[in-house]
Amino acid sequence: MHPIKISDLRFKYEEAQKNILDGINLELAAGKITAILGLSGCGKTTLCYCMCGIIPHIYHGHLDGEILLFGNPLHKMELSRIARSIGIIFQDPDTQLFSPTVEDEIAFGPENLCLDREEIAQRIEICLKLVNMEKHRFEHPENLSGGEKQLIAIASVLAMDPDLLIFDESLAQIDADGKERVKNVMLQLKTLGKSVVLVEHDPDNLAIADDIFFLKSGKLEAINITNKREFDELYKI
């Protein structure tokens, strides 16, 4: 089953003139890394918001079409239920972390799901290990580097045990070393059978992707790029 199946999705922000998403069709492959490319402002973040219910639950507008999350219509689900299947990691690490220690940060989601303490303890350990940040467990997230913060944001989302992870330009604000570490985690997630959506505009980060789509004029188009020249060609028009 597809983690996400989108049919003829159209969306317009309330004050906007025209549809920012205008007939999106997508069948996401399970257990793979799918990259979505596109120029700045073309609607990548908007598409991510639709895929995880932030639109229409938090941001409103004119929404049309259907999104199925593991076969169930997304618009009928509550955000807290969607959050069990989908985790999203944003671009700015500072707007994702709000707890005084790394441990508290990771525990936040499982606490909301009412898991018992032993289970939460287990999840904290597993997730910290996965992102290789065990030794920072009792530190204040504020004192970590950008890449480390992003790893903690990932661990906190992973603690909810979602099947699909969406990274919305999560590599953009971190240094080269941090990028490598986060990309390694993405590959590990894939081996664990999780599906990954990777929103990007840096060709160097596409090597780990199995499928690549290009978002333009509100539509998605499957593409196949193997080198930098083809990539540059894509952005020319």
Partner 1 sequence: MSKFSIEADIRSKLAVVLGFSTIAVFIQHIYVLSFILIISIAAALLFGANILKAIKTTRNLWYLFFIIVILQSIFSRSGQALLAINGFPLITAGGVLKGGEFLMRVSVIVFSATIISTSNSREVVQGLVQLKIPYDIAFMVSVAIRFLPLLRSEIKDTFTAIQLRGLDLKKIPLKRRIRVYLYIFNPVVAGAIRKARGLSIAMEMRAFRAYRKRTSFLKLRLSAADYFIMVFTLIFTSAVFVMFYYFNFPAGII
Ligand X SMILES: Nc1ncnc2c1ncn2[C@@H]1O[C@H](COP(=O)(O)OP(=O)(O)O)[C@@H](O)[C@H]1O
Chain residues binding ligand X by CB under 6 A are 13, 15-16, 20, 38, 40-46, 59
Of positions 13, 22, 23, 108, contacts partner 1 by CB under 8 A = 108
Q: Is 92 in the site for partner 1 (CB under 8 A)?
A: yes
Distance CA 156, CA 177 (A): 21
Pairing of strands 21-27, 4-13: antiparallel
Distance CA 51, CA 10 (A): 12
60 binds, among Mg ion, partner 1, ligand X, none (CB under 5 to 8 A by kind): none
Binding mask of the shown chain, residues 4 to 23, with x at each position contacting partner 1 by CB under 8 A: --------------------
In 3D, which of 15, 53, 34 has the Cα closest to residue 220? 34
Of positions 2, 45, 57, 173, contacts Mg ion by CB under 5 A = 45
Q: Which is nearer to partner 1, 158 or 234 (CB)?
A: 158
DSSP string, 9-45: EEEEETT-SS-SEEEEEEEPPTTSEEEEE--TTSSHH
Q: Is 161 in the site for partner 1 (CB under 8 A)?
A: no
Q: Is 177 in the site for partner 1 (CB under 8 A)?
A: no
In 3D, which of 37, 34, 28 has the Cα closest to residue 203? 37
Q: Is 132 in the site for Mg ion (CB under 5 A)?
A: no
Q: Is 173 in the site for Mg ion (CB under 5 A)?
A: no
CB of 130 to partner 1, least distance (A): 17
Q: Is 117 in the site for partner 1 (CB under 8 A)?
A: yes
98 binds, among Mg ion, partner 1, ligand X, none (CB under 5 to 8 A by kind): partner 1
Binding residues (CB under 8 A) for partner 1: these are 52, 54, 57-58, 78-81, 83-84, 86-88, 90, 92, 94-96, 98-101, 103-104, 107-117, 120-121, 124, 153, 156-157, 160
